[in-house]
């Protein structure tokens, strides 16, 4: 049986990081651990946001509903709990007694942490996340090194990555107790070094990968017997393989890096028949596959360039979900300016034509191909949506909108482009007609762009010209800022001599508008004698 090949829509992206690499997906997004940060991408692999200021983010786990992300912070001996909607860290759980947390597995409210810094100091600790800020920590196991962990239902599987042949230890985890169920002995199966662990959503089957094996082995977690093998994988024998199970348990994905590229195969979990294959070879260098996760029925994988140490994201479309359709329409080009407010409309359509209900969309604005803004909009019940935006820039403005899909419908994306010219700008300047030496003068004004009062991040230059019997002197006064939403500005000056004064306010223009100036003339007299 020949599995379908990878889609032409598969992409790979340079992540700009060299540490971390674990990837998880949920809530229509994927999250990649990157040492001092966690990168967030949309379902199509485009960047969404960054969670910064972390200390050694390595292992990740995400709640099934996608609302909470957990990150093992190896350098600070903590687990961060992150709200995936706001991307804010809402808790930091100290693991001072269980240093170097590395691998995570989540089952319900129980988070299992594989920790360990050096030889003979590894283990597993359980965190009950339902206890709020007073987290309850319970040690579960001791291991040689920081172990791999996989959990689902009332089953926990622990694999010590520092031994060969590697054994798997299976525990019952009911309430606050962890009871040894049994051991899958690596000597019985000649396993070699452990590569990765995954478990089916019901906890009934664990799949493990090993360095020297051409297959991915599955064991029944009740009887602890091998029930099937996925493969053989023709790419085996170079780097440690990785494995993942789909959220519904029907698919198993496995792959690894090779001297010539990356290989990945998607299997039917029950029959072990291959249903999809993917390869990535155009990089031209040694590539090490680091982590693999399902995003609905598509896949995200991280891989490392062995020579440069740089990490990349590989998104693979499996084509196993029906496609949705997304449209986006922008205003027609011609007379539009960078100061205009643009109104865009679109529609999300499901495969069967039914109303999708309210659905979140992510919109990214690009100015001359540089990402400038990402925002969220929501569809109406019938799938239509409208949003307004002021680009504040001339040039080629592109809007990309993405719906991140659902467990039963594939994500979709659409784009629309507008070309804008710079807007005409003007300044109104108000102030007194006369003044007295030594008395403070107050001036105010409004900057308008495209006929509308609107500010700019470019400051206004203020020049004062004084003409009297001693000649003419031009002085630059401190620059002033405008209020962004209505363009207002103000400044003050105290004259030190009598004469004819001219105050000139200059705007050099910005990305949205052309330059302009305004002048106000007045007379300053000596103060009357007492």
pLDDT, tens digit (0-9, with 9 covering 90-100), for 230-286: 987 655 555 778 999 999 999 999 988 876 678 889 999 999 999 888 888 766 567
Which of 281, 200, 287 has its CA nearest to residue 243? 200
21-25, 58-62, 221-225, 235-239: least confident range: 235-239
In this prediction, residue 5 carries a pLDDT of: 39
Length of the chain: 530
What whole-number percentage of the chain has pLDDT above 70? 94
Domains of the chain: 11-316 (2.130.10.10), 325-420 (2.60.40.10), 425-525 (2.60.40.730)
Neighbour tally for 3: CB within 10 Å: 15
Distances (CA, A) of 41 to 44, 196, 342, 395: 8, 23, 26, 26
Secondary structure of 225-292 as H, E, C letters: CEEEEECCCCCCCCCCCEEEECCCCCEEEEEEECCCCEEEEEEECCCCCEEEEEEECCCCCCEEEEEE
Give the start-end residues of each E strand in 350-424: 360-367, 370-378, 384-389, 395-403, 412-420
Pairing of strands 516-525, 434-436: parallel
Tokens of 158: 């622990």
Phi/psi zone of residue 20: left (φ > 0), alpha (ψ -120 to 50 degrees), beta?
A: left
pLDDT 10s digits, 274-298: 988 888 876 656 778 889 999 987 8
Q: How far is the C-alpha of 297 from the C-alpha of 385, rounded, in Å?
A: 26
pLDDT at 97 exceeding the cut of 70: yes
pLDDT at 530 exceeding the cut of 70: no
pLDDT 10s digits, 339-393: 999 999 999 999 999 999 999 998 989 998 777 778 899 999 999 999 999 999 9
Query: What does the pLDDT average to over 389-415?
Result: 91
């Amino acid at each position: 049986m020949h599995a379908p090949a990878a889609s032409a829509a598969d992409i790979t992206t340079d992540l700009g990081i060299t540490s971390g690499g674990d990837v998880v997906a949920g809530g229509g997004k994927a999250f990649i651990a990157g040492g001092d940060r966690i990168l967030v991408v949309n379902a199509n692999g485009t960047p969404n946001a960054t969670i910064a200021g972390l200390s050694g983010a390595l292992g990740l786990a995400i709640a099934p509903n996608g609302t909470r992300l957990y990150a093992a912070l190896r350098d600070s001996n903590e687990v961060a709990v992150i709200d995936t909607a706001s991307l804010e860290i809402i808790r930091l759980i100290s693991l001072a007694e269980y240093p170097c947390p590395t691998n995570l597995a989540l089952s319900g409210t129980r988070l299992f942490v594989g920790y360990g810094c050096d030889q003979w100091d590894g283990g597993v600790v359980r965190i009950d996340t339902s206890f709020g800020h007073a987290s309850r920590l319970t040690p579960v196991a001791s291991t040689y090194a920081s172990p791999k962990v996989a959990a689902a239902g009332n089953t926990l599987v622990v694999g010590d990555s520092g031994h060969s042949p590697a054994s798997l230890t299976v525990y019952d985890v009911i309430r606050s107790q962890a009871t040894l169920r049994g051991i899958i002995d690596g000597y019985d199966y000649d396993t070699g070094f452990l590569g990765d662990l995954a478990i089916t959503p019901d906890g009934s089957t664990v799949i493990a990968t090993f360095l020297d094996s051409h297959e991915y082995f599955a064991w029944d977690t009740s009887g602890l017997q091998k029930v099937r093998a996925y493969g053989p994988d023709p790419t085996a024998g170079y780097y440690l393989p990785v494995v993942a199970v789909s959220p519904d348990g029907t698919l198993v994905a496995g792959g690894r890096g090779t001297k010539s590229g990356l290989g990945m195969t998607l299997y039917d979990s029950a029959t072990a028949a291959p249903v999809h294959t993917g390869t990535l070879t155009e990089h031209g260098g040694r590539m090490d596959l680091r982590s693999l996760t399902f995003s609905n029925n598509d896949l995200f994988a991280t891989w490392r360039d062995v020579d440069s140490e740089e990490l990349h994201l590989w998104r693979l479309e499996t084509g196993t979900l029906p496609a949705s359709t997304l449209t986006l329409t922008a205003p027609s080009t011609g007379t539009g300016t960078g100061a205009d407010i643009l109104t865009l409309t679109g529609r999300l359509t499901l495969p069967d034509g039914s109303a999708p209900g309210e659905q979140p969309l992510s919109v990214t604005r690009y100015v001359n191909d540089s990402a400038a803004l990402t925002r969220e909009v929501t569809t109406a019940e019938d799938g239509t949506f409208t949003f307004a935006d002021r680009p504040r820039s001339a040039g080629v403005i592109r809007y990309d909108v993405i719906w991140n899909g659902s467990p039963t419908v594939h994500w979709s994306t659409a784009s629309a482009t507008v070309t804008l010219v710079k807007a005409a700008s003007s300044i109104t300047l108000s102030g007194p007609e006369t003044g007295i030496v030594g008395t403070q003068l107050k001036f105010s004004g409004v900057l308008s762009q495209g006929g509308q009062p609107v500010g700019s991040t470019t400051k206004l230059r203020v020049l004062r010209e004084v003409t009297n019997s001693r000649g003419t002197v031009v002085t630059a006064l401190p620059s002033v800022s405008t209020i962004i939403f209505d363009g207002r500005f103000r400044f003050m000056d105290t004259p030190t001599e009598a004469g004819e004064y001219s105050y000139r306010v200059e705007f050099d223009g910005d990305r949205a508008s052309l330059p302009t100036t305004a002048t106000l003339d007045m007379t300053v007299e000596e103060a009357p004698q007492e």
